[in-house]
Structure 1
Amino acid sequence: MQTGSEFESGWVDLTDDEYDRVRQAAETYRESIVVRLCGEVGLRPPEIARVTSGDVETRTTRNGTHRFLTVRSDAESGREAYVPTPVYSAVRRYVNERALDPDECLVDVTPRRIQMIVGEVTDRAGEMFGDDRLRSVSSRDLCRYYARRLVHREQVDARVVQAVGPWESLDTLRRHLDPVDVDTVLDEFERSSVPGPGAADPTVEVCRAVVSAAFGVLVVGPDGLVEYANDGFADLTDADGDVAGRNVGSLYSGDAPGVPADTDEPTAVALRRPDGSAADAVRVATPRGGPGGTESGYVAAFLPREAASDVGRAERGQSVSARVTTAVEVLDATTAVVDDASTRTEVASGVCDRLAAAEAYEFAWVGSVTGDRGVVSTAWEGIDEPTAESLATRASESVDGDSGRPATERGVRVFDSEDGSGLPPFETDDGPVGGVALVPIVYGDTTHGLLALGASDDATFGEAERAVLASLGWQTAQAMTDVERRNLLLADSVTELEFRVESDRSFFVAASEHLGGTFELQGLVPGESGTLLYFVTMRETTPEAVFDFAAGVDSVENARLIRDYGDTSLVEFVVAGEEPATTLTDLGGHVAAFVAEDGAQRITAEFTTETDVRAVFDGFQSPFPESSLFSKQEVDLTEKQQSVLRAAYLAGYFEWPRGSTAEELADSIGVSSPTLHNHLRKAQQKVLTAFFDDE
């Protein structure tokens, strides 16, 4: 409900949930980018209209990598806006898919058109969620949301927000923030170091410092009684109540470690859970200084067993943190790999080169998962070819025989892991190789292959490192997809592949078999959270029967009737699971058509002429082993070029005077002006060549 103050001021104060709803209403990449630049970077429409990918600058601190965007005003001077990593990743995907040069505008339209784009998205959000309040949201409300979220919810210093935001002064920013009342004043002074209630009690200060720590913390008094335990300790031990007041010895399974005389070394301990079982951990403790220099108990921090293992390895000279740092650096560098690579194999080689060049890993290997040959080596660095082939053979053993997909695709597994959850030891003709992690290269529901990393002989891979490596696998798969899509976007000609699929893994195949209907693709649009929106015409079945069937299929999130023509119906399906179209899209293709009937689907997709057809076929057969390649042919006029040429003709672009300008045409299609001209000129050249060559 709109409050009185909102109505009077004309502002709409968005909650986080409401902002998410606005984001969900964006139907195109461009709409999504516009909304996020307003709501998460704090840009205004005139600023968005000037932004190029070359305006982004990377800066690195000891805690990670950050991006800033140079925002230019009319006077060519401006500020540096902070770009959160998720927004930067979205911008990079947008730039790669449209093959924008560094000096090309991200959103090549006028500021007024950007305001209209926001209005179209918020109108759609209001309709989707039945909330008329969302219809009133404008670009300035999104900037206001940006300020209020950072200051009030993220507790960012208002001076910092003003510096990176579009406000000329703190006074201008203050108009968007809540007024300061007495409770706010008291909260701030109690959080500060200004002397106040409890300031003389060191326990209070310690508790405030550690209350939100991600690890377990105990504050123990001189009498051995627990004075404070944070939530991290409760999570570590599954404690169902406050342990304050209990003797610290009762929290251990077995003998409790002694009181530290000084900051002690990491010590392996076993904490007692409520059910009597032990929670393995490592403890680091330090004494608290009491009045007059007397001891006043101690503070102990506890990390889970995984951390204890890392400490043990560190004592043996293993640099686990160095490996994690290397993985993070390569994860961040995969965007640069995409810029330098022109094929999926070059992406694999680039990732292997960067990993093997670091001291933390001894070798890196990438293999492709095939439908019938298991795993084949694609690229490697730091090992010879026989070892690479041995890795491919061992990796093939982890591929599920029925589905053709790696059993490790949902998580990192390790050869000869210490915890027994990994794979048998990996050996070559020269003997065993220890510490080898097998990482799935998966994007969406499509498996591109596997990445193997070798550390030292007795090294193991901790939980934190596995998490980073899993992200690296996903990022590598995304890089492979981005390269294929970029090449397809700029292609002068394409390879058209037609597949036949007989698998009830596909909703449309199963529906055609069970309902006896025919399903024909009319359009395919990316949705939220990896979903795809299928616009499909159906015949020889009813919408009611299809909706009932879809209700029992987990991968179909939603289905709605758009129009009933009598003999046929146009239906929108939101599909999140495995579908042939999803797989081909994730492999870098453009799905041009499909027809599903009688329990089989024939689907056509376009790829660049440089695409490794065998790799595409293997990647497609991984989730759909019952598929076959029906035909392959080269097409001179790509579907995008044909659609742009047709749109230009229908819009009167070739008439004199023109019925539409290039900017208007590009805006209606949803591409930048340079991209429009690129497609249009290539299409015109091919049509004219075909015409004059026939004479």
Structure 2
Amino acid sequence: SVSGAAARLRSLRFDAVVTEYQLPDGDGFDLLQQVLSVDETVPVVFYTAHGDEQVAGRAVAADAAAYVSKKQGPAALCERLDTVTMTEHASTVTDVPSVPAGALVRALEDAAVGVTLTDPSLPDAPVVYANTAYQKLTGYSETFILGRDHSYLQGPDTAEGAVAELERAQQQGPVGVEMLNYRETGEPFWNRVQATPVTGADGEPTYIAQFHTDVTERRERESRAQQRVAALRDERESLERVLGRTSELTDDVAEILAGAQTKAEIEQQICSAIVDRDGFTYAVFGEFPSVEHTVTVQASAGAGGRVETGEADLSGTLFERARKQGTVEVSSATDQLPSRLAPAQFGAGSVAVIPLAYGRTTYGLLAIYTGGPRSLDRRETLVLRAVGRLIASGLNAIEAKQVLRAERVTEVGVDIPDKTFAPVELADRTDGPVEYDTTSRAEDGSLRLFLTLSVPAADAEEAVAAASSVASGVVLASQSATTTVSVEPADPTALNELAEYGARTQQITVPSATAPARLVIDAPPEGDVRTLISVLKEQYNTVELVRQQDRERDPRPAVGVASAIDAELTDRQYTALETAYRSDYFDTPRPVSGKELARAMDISRQTYHQHLRTAQQKVLDALFDE
């Protein structure tokens, strides 16, 4: 222990002291100080398995006679003891820088880190010793190093503060800095320098020991980590900006679509909402006319006023690519753009072109212009793509409303002999005609057809259960030789898509078991009939167009009780009431129960009766309040 060794030193004379680095009540350096305080002539040798280059350097700097690793074995220890006990301790002062004793030099030469000793008593504190590791680290030879200060390691990017910090080691004691130094080849490297004064008997620094370690790899790793942190911070800020701007825009669009009554309102209000957001300077809403490679400007907003409405040629441009590929396209410096829609026309740096597609229908495009040269990033384009689909969905809804309100419609009649069409298969299985009554949708959005079969209830139930074109079905009511059923088609894709295009099913008739089904729909007068036919042909093997004509909508009361009922009933209430009516639910005796009607709508009996009672009350209110 340190205390035990110190006590014995005061009572006995020793030729040398050998110490481990780690001691029970301190370490080898504590013992070294105790030895020197009692007798400076007694050499102290560190013999340890727990040290490293740093400990070795500190030991030599603290006037230890030698440092021996236990890995070198007892023989090496004995050799060092012979050397240090035979060495005469003396010092001389000359005008020429001197080097330490041979034992100290050998210990320093064994160090893996670069070690230099400078003499602070001489002008500029020149280097008086440099070990081999230091020479390899810097690339400078011993001949060049000795007699110079360390300024040869400095270069244009060496921090002056780090140099000044090292110079204070003479007055303030040990210091450590990391600084950018330069090798003899001019190659920069990060040097961790630990400087500590080596004091003499008078307490004044005799040498300044410096330990040099190349930490370039660690600094580069730290730099890469900092760059990653900065990149993540920029990414987070960018994401916050994107989410903030685009989420607000999405909210604006949803609000506009909920309140707009016409397509023109949607177009102009959305353009105005876009330019109200930071970073978006201009917006243009265009439609695709029948003329290929062109777009018709319908609405615009932004600084500088509106673009004149009219057609613009898209041939070979970014706008045409967006239309053909159905993707959001963001302009770059090499993209061709129609002159009247180029960003420069609006003082913008770039433009994002968003196709407005819903199902198979493309309603047009939305061009959003940004103020600077920065293009929209991938996340923004994904959000804008969703905004485009939202707008197209709203336009589709407006179109569907216009079909319901329009005075004229396009009536389209087709024949479908395919037995995967449920009415055709049911006619075949019942060997008789099938008539369409109405359509409803369940709570989950699934479509159901109400059909009248020309067979008794038992035969109708058997046919529905056996039909592969029917996913589920129930018998609602039966009178004499006819039965009303509610069926869910196994594949309602075509009927759903027709509804999305604004088409309304008016009639489905299968005259006999061998005849095709005649499907009659009312479509928007400005709709594309070819698209509707292609929807049907994708699902059914044979589809023949037999009728297409524009006509006046079937007359319906527009005022009075009927209009009041239309305004008051929800879709669910209307379907519940119509289902009950068409199933003869109000007859006495009732041919069908409320439970069966609820099953037909895929809702609970309680929910069905609630819809039905509410609908009946609204009908009576409309009748008697008049």
Q: TM-score, normalised by structure 1?
A: 0.37
Bigger relative contact order, structure 1 or 2 (CA pairs below 8 A, ≥6 apart): 1
